[in-house]
Amino acid sequence: MFKVSGKVEIHALGDMAKVRLTAGSRDALITGTGAARIELTGTDFEFVDSISLIQPGNSQKALPLPFRLPKGKQQGNQPEMQVDINTATLAPGRYSLGIIQVTGVTTDVPITVHPPNPELTQIPLRVNMSEPQQDVMLHGKHLDRIEGITSANADWILPAIPDGAVEVTERSATIKLAPTAQKGDRLGAEIVISGLEEPLKIDDIARVVGPRPKITSATKSFAKWASVELRDGEIPTGRAVSFSLQTQSVDSHPKVELACSSEPDTRRKISLVPGDKTDSAELDVIGEGSLFLSADPGVIGVSGCQLTAQLTERETGTSEPFALGRVIRLPRITGFTLTDEKLGDSSYAATLTGRDLQLIEKAGWGATRGEAVQEIPTPVPGNPQEQTLKIAIPWPPPAPKAPLYIWLRGETQARQTNARY
């Protein structure tokens, strides 16, 4: 029997059932990112002997993990412990930490390795003043993990992605600037990520610029040699049509793009900057906010195309499409001759001369009834661009010098022509 002088301290083992990861540590475990140091709290760790990483269903391949106690093992109460985990080769999913104390008892603490965080590219986005709200497109990786975005001077609306969508690289969003936003502001954002407790912070997700360019009105002009009625809003093909465009929020070097509102109707998009002049189009500045544009609509789109113009400024972006008119290809009638060849009880043959006569489906003396064209145009010898077309016309006409009406293929309303008997 012997005696030892001094003080004996008895400490209870830590209750490993109370162990938890700090919020920052729970968010730090991201697959493929490499070494992560996490912090455990919730109990006294001084009697921890070893820690290992265990994948559910595979406890036989536990991976020993280095850990650190502030004072070292069995050196008094230590309510925190740091553990190093390398996520470089860990797949996303649930794992557990096998914590063994000096008694040899193992306690499993669940942890989660998260999928990769979203990565945004092509930022900062451009957001214009004077817009009630704007649609933008987010680009990057793993965008399906984004649940929401908040900014100090803007509200974001993020539509839900389709069920089952993964590895999303493009995602639409709507942004509405606050009244306090000013031109030149750079917007930061907090991005809420699925499965993470703390938002991802981005200092420069968008910048506020001036208003987008805008076409406010357009006046058109073209040579009046049409021999077939042209309706309001229509623009003829086969000749240059001039436009005076009145604009807002543009400098002296805007780009104008001409196209059809429907992509299938577009033959060729044309882009012009002031000073450009080609065989089929030209653009010039004629005053502050005024542009002169000339183009052959038939080069840009097929008949029926809704011709539009858009302005683009390098700093402020692209305007909404402005409708210039509906492109229409009309036949050109240069001659009309009524013959004595009888084609029916009250119809006689007539001959039209001109171009693009194949567009005519019916002809008659009024806008309510026409005779179907039974033949196809014949080229004029020596001038293949000129044609003749045989049609049937009722006799007699309703009045002296009555105008001839025609129906174009695909149309239900007749058009008056300058052909008269």
pLDDT at residue 57 greater than cutoff 60: yes
Q: Can you give the CATH number for the domain in which 318 is found?
A: 2.60.40.10
The pLDDT of residue 357 is 96
What confidence tens digit (pLDDT) does each residue in 16-31 have? 999 999 999 999 999 9
Residue 251 — pLDDT band, cuts 50, 70, 90?
confident
Task: Tell me what percent of the residues of the chain surpass a pLDDT of 70.
Answer: 96
What confidence tens digit (pLDDT) does each residue in 138-149 have? 999 999 999 999
Q: Are 102 and 49 in contact (CB under 8 A)?
A: yes
The pLDDT of residue 7 is 67
Q: DSSP class of residue 240? A: -
Residue where one domain finishes, among candidates 177, 209, 241: 209
Considering the domain architecture, whether residues 315 and 391 belong to the same structural domain is answered as no
- 200 to each of 195, 359, 380, 403, how far by Cα in Å? 12, 62, 74, 74
* Helix extents (H) in 166-304: 297-300
Domain presence at residue 365: yes
Considering the domain architecture, whether residues 315 and 336 belong to the same structural domain is answered as no
Q: Which range marks the domain in which residue 297 is found?
A: 214-328
Tokens found for residue 303: 């008949």
Return the SS3 of 207: strand
Residue 1 — pLDDT band, cuts 50, 70, 90?
low
Range 248-266 average pLDDT: 93
The pLDDT of residue 163 is 85
- 161 to each of 76, 92, 121, 150, 204, how far by Cα in Å? 52, 21, 19, 18, 24
Domain presence at residue 218: yes
Range 171-177 average pLDDT: 97
The pLDDT of residue 345 is 83
Range 159-180 average pLDDT: 92
Q: Are 81 and 48 in contact (CB under 8 A)?
A: yes
Query: Which three-class secondary structure string do you get for 317-375?
Result: EECCCEEEEEEECCCEEEEEEEEEEECCCCEEEEEEEEECHHHEEEEECCCCCCEECCC
Query: Of 306, 294, 288, whose CA–CA distance to 247 is shortest?
Result: 288
Q: Is the peptide bond before 394 cis (omega within 30 degrees of 0)?
A: no
Residue partners of 388: CB distance under 8 A and separation at least 6: 351, 352, 353, 357, 377, 378, 380
Considering the domain architecture, whether residues 66 and 148 belong to the same structural domain is answered as no
- 74 to each of 52, 100, 105, 170, how far by Cα in Å? 19, 14, 16, 53
Q: What is the DSSP string of 48-70?
A: EEEEEEEETTEEEEEEE--EE-S
Domain presence at residue 11: no
Considering the domain architecture, whether residues 338 and 358 belong to the same structural domain is answered as yes
How far apart, in whole angstroms, are the C-alpha atoms of residue 63 and residue 285?
Answer: 72
Range 235-245 average pLDDT: 93
Considering the domain architecture, whether residues 107 and 45 belong to the same structural domain is answered as yes
What confidence tens digit (pLDDT) does each residue in 370-386 have? 999 999 999 999 998 89
What confidence tens digit (pLDDT) does each residue in 401-414 have? 999 999 999 999 99
Query: Of 336, 333, 391, whose CA–CA distance to 362 is shortest?
Result: 391
Residue 9 — pLDDT band, cuts 50, 70, 90?
low
